[in-house]
Structures are given as structure tokens and as C-alpha cells.
Amino acid sequence: MSLSAAEPALISDLINLMESETAEQDDAGASRTRIAKAMAKAIRKFVEAGQVKVIVNTTGTATAQTGTGTGNIT
């Protein structure tokens, strides 16, 4: 999926995190730790949703090829 398609899920995850943390009565340090862990998980999920499109240019024979690839994340 493209990152633009995954963005609503990231926003939803972050809003859910903020809403769940609002009701917590723990100390600030515990809250910051939970927020940091949940944000890291949401960001990782978002980044892993991105598609990598690569164009590979090769040289050589059918059995011995070398080449490099260039591309972008969408």
C-alpha cells in the first residue's frame, strides 16, 4: 500500500493512543514511556506499509548478471 493510503491508519492509531492515555492516572514518566512505545509501533506500521518500486538495470549473461537498482518509496 502507498504511504498516502496508510496515512489515515497512522492518524487513527495516534488518536487512539492519545484518547487512551487521557484517562490514565499514572505518573508522567510511565505515561511518556507508554506514549513513546505506542508511537514507535504506529510509525513502524506506517513505514512498513510503504511500497518500494525499483528499476533494476543489469548486464551480463542469463546465468551471470550484475546490476544496480534505483527506486523510491510511495
pLDDT digits (tens, 9 = 90+) for 33-59: 999 999 999 999 999 998 888 888 888
pTM: 0.69
Write down the pLDDT at residue 12: 96
One-letter amino acid of 26: D
DSSP string, 27-55: -HHHHHHHHHHHHHHHHHHHHHT--EEEE
Residue 61 one-letter amino acid: T
